[in-house]
Chains A and B, each alone.
Chain A
Amino acid sequence: MELTAEERAMLDGAEGAAVQRALAYQVEVGRFFGATRMVPITNAHMMGDIEVLGDAGLGFLQEMQRAGAKARIPLTTNARCIDFAWAERLGQDPAECAKERQVIAALQGMAVMTTDTCINYQTLYQPHLGERVAWGDTGTCIYANSVFGARTNFESGPAALAAAITGRTPDYGFQRDEHRRGGFIVDIGGATLGDLADWGALGKLVGEGHQSYTAVPVFTGFRRTPLADELKQLGCALASYGSMGMFHFVGLTPEAPTLEAAFHGAVPPGVERMAVDDAAIAAVYAGYDLGAGDAKLVVFSGPQLSLFELRDLARLFAGRQVARGTSVFVTSSNGVLSAARKLGYLAPLEAAGVCVLEGVCFYILQNLSQMREREGWRNMVSNSAKIVNIIGAHRFRTILRRTADCVEIACTGRLA
């Protein structure tokens, strides 16, 4: 890799042990992918909570802090595994809660902004076309690349932290033009996509059949303007089911004003084309095993909800009650929930018996497997295709349903 004089000095320890270690790590990762240089970045976003870090990860963060690590650009944090206000009620482990506080202290000691949200792209920072960032949580990456036209690879916790410590990232993958070219066409002219869950189902259909980080779908044919929350669900599902980091949406995303632009020139002859219509979406919903049909757990999370989603959910739950024996969880960020409280969107949810958690995502909750066993949860119903996919290791049977159907299931205790 060709490093600048400044970068060589960093590798030699001129800026301290933490910078030296962070850059050496980045160079190793860059070398794997054939990167020939580092590129400067303006913003980073990292995952780091005790559930995923474990004791070893916590030790690593504390070691980096002791070595003098500091984020030199804004570095925000993803959703974490504990909402301290709920930890006791959820039966989370007090020792892990104490460690989570140590994680937060170590991060803050490195000038990390512990914002605890996976929807930074809706609530914190919207990078512009061509802006280079280092974001982690796959949903944040695909949104940055696709909707903003910014540039990022999937940057996991240690990679985003290293990027913020050095202010750089290796130049590979979606940092480079050639990887941003469309790969196949998805015609959605026959799909209504009237609910957020439909967008997730679309992402599942496209992602499952093309599991590759470098596959870039190009959506065409849609007849209205999708909303940010709809693109959020689409992106999260593509990233989750397909490990994808970017999509184009012709006439909408900044690098795809035309179909040709999405392909960086003429559309290759013989390019793969697929179509997703209402029947295909309906088949997704029909495809879930309902097991014994229990409806004891309904989750609105993964990704966290926007203010608009909370308003819609408040309207659906207004004047209703969550069924006896059913638990309902909603998660969002401090910023969104503060605004939602001020605007009166949380009161109907709380009156209905919905648990509103702050700064977390349901699927990474500390002790989730134990919680599932204690509560006798078997089925998990959600309007998020992403969480339906990723919670599997906790042994849930998962079922995707449209938003209003989820509310109906929650309030009747019946899974139709």
Chain B
Amino acid sequence: MTALITLARGFGPVVEGEAIVSEEGFSPRYDLDRWSGVITKPGHRLEGLSIKDRICFFPTAKGGIAAGWAFFDIQAKGIAPRAFCFGVTNPVMVQGAVLAGIPITEGWSPDPRTVLRTGDWVRVDPGRLVVELLRRAG
């Protein structure tokens, strides 16, 4: 399997899942309904989309100390994504993902927006620092 994207930093086990490729950054506090897993911030480019069981590609992290607990919370509620891949993240996202045991990565080449579409099935390997494409969206 050839790597579609190489990553700079990562934590967590290998996971597979359906990709969500976002043009906009993310905060579980500002953007997410933490009871349903749906992005509810009015005007967010992914408004109405659920992140549950997805592999989320976000270019940036927004604000929010609350992610530290929020990821643990959504993991326990069964509405967490399978992995977070950020272009640029902040410590809170990493602290939260490590606590919750959710794989997280930072830094990418090339930009997933140029090679991936929402709905593609991908594998993220935070140890080898690669994202592989398993199949295209139908």
Binding site for B on A (CB under 8 A): 25, 28-29, 31-34, 47-48, 52-57, 60, 78, 136-138, 153-159, 172-173, 211-214, 239-241, 243, 245, 364, 389-390, 392-393, 395, 397
Contact = CB atoms under 8 A, between A and B. Distances in A.
A150 to B, nearest CB: 16
A56 B73 contact: yes
Nearest to B75: A56
Contacts of B89: 213
A28 B98 contact: yes
Nearest to A59: B76
Contacts of A55: 76
Contacts of B22: none
A393 B32 contact: yes
A52 B42 contact: no
A158 B68 CA distance: 6
A137 B40 CA distance: 22
11 contacts: A32-B106, A52-B69, A136-B68, A157-B65, A157-B66, A172-B91, A213-B89, A243-B90, A390-B29, A392-B31, A392-B42
A155 B76 contact: no
A396 B29 CA distance: 14
Given A29-B94, A57-B73, A393 B9 contact: no
Contacts of B32: 393
Given A52-B73, A213-B89, A32 B62 contact: no
Specify which of B29, B40, B75, B91 lies most central, judged by the most chain A CB atoms within 10 Å of its CB: B91
Given A154-B65, A392-B42, A395-B40, A32 B94 contact: yes
Given A52-B69, A60-B99, A393-B29, 14 more contacts: A29-B91, A54-B77, A56-B73, A78-B65, A138-B64, A156-B69, A157-B66, A157-B69, A211-B88, A213-B90, A241-B62, A241-B63, A243-B62, A243-B90
A257 B77 CA distance: 49
B98 A25 contact: yes
A93 B111 CA distance: 44
A407 B69 CA distance: 35
B69 to A, nearest CB: 5
Nearest to A118: B65
A31 B95 CA distance: 11
Q: Is the interface of A mostly helix, strand, loop or mixed?
A: helix
Interface of B: 9-11, 25, 27, 29-34, 40-44, 60-70, 72-73, 75-77, 88-92, 94-96, 98-99, 104, 106
A154 B92 contact: yes
Contacts of B94: 29, 32-33
A32 B11 contact: yes
Contacts of B88: 211-214
Contact of B95 (A158, A211, A212, A240): A158
Contact of A395 (B25, B42, B64): B42
A173 B30 contact: no
Contacts of A213: 61, 88-91
A241 B43 CA distance: 15
Contacts of A28: 11, 98
A136 B33 CA distance: 22
A245 B29 CA distance: 18
B63 A239 contact: yes
A245 B40 CA distance: 26
Nearest to B33: A393
A176 B97 CA distance: 23
Given A156-B96, A159-B91, A211-B25, A392 B68 contact: no
Contacts of A211: 25, 60, 62, 88
A158 B41 contact: no
Contacts of B31: 392-393
Given A48-B69, A56-B75, A240 B63 contact: yes
Closest 7 CB pairs of A and B: A156-B68, A56-B76, A54-B73, A213-B90, A392-B41, A159-B95, A211-B60
